[in-house]
Amino acid sequence: MNLVEMLMSAGGNAAVGQLGSRFGLDENQTMAALQHLVPALGNGLQRNVSADGGLDALLGALAGGNHSQYIDNPDLLNSEETTAEGNGILGHLLGSKEASREVAANASAQTGIGAEVLKQMLPLVATMVMGSLSKQGNQAGFLGGQNTAPQAEGLLGMLTPLLDANRDGSMADDVLGMIGRYMRNR
């Protein structure tokens, strides 16, 4: 499951509709925007998770934040606080405003949607991605959800799109590579 599918399966339909409405986009345009913005965020997540302590940091952010609210209450996507939080998430994932602008420009070239619109959407999409990851983690029971026993299968299912660097459907070779790099750098 890729991050766009994860977003939609987490109940993101209403959030996607709200996002499109905010920027005057129809459903097809909004989905096209997501299909070009979300992979860049996924690449940023993957870089962060691959770094020392990155997985712990991601799980801590998911457990400590109330990110699922952006999926559960799509009206929050109209809030300046949501935009500010999204910009913070983008800073962690993409590293700079220039990188965010580049992501928006690339998505604009692919979708025909204005780069300025996509640049404004990007922080909100970041909150939605974190919201969907948070919901998946809560449903799997490892972020303090209703299940009391952590379910490794749910955790691995959620993280596979982030850890499967070569997109071959298996994260095993990618994780082994990360471990190998870690051991060489020790």
pLDDT, tens digit, for every residue of 71-113?
A: 889 899 999 999 999 999 999 888 888 999 999 999 999 999 9
The residue among 30 and 61 whose pLDDT is bigger is 30
Contact 16, 8 (CB under 8 A): yes
Give 28-50 pLDDT, tens digit per residue.
Answer: 999 999 999 988 988 888 888 77
Kindly list the distances between the CA atom of residue 151 and the CA atoms of 23, 136, 143, 146, in Å, as whole numbers in the listed order. Answer: 38, 11, 10, 12
- Give the model's pLDDT for residue 21: 92
CA distance 120 to 64: 26
Residue reference for tokens 């596979």: 160
Distance of CA 73 to the CA centre of its chain: 17
Nearest partner of 37 among 55, 16, 53, 17, judged by Cα = 16
Q: Which amino acid is it at 106? A: N
Q: Which amino acid is it at 91? A: G
Give 124-178 pLDDT, tens digit per residue.
Answer: 999 988 888 887 766 655 555 444 334 344 444 555 555 555 556 554 455 445 4
CA distance 157 to 168: 14
- Give the model's pLDDT for residue 138: 66
Q: What is the pTM of this model?
A: 0.76
Kindly list the distances between the CA atom of residue 12 and the CA atoms of 53, 110, 133, in Å, as whole numbers in the listed order. Answer: 29, 23, 11
- Give the model's pLDDT for residue 66: 83
- Give the model's pLDDT for residue 121: 95
CA distance 113 to 31: 11
Phi, psi of 65 (to 5 degrees): -95, 170
Contacts of 26 (CB under 8 A, 6+ apart): 20
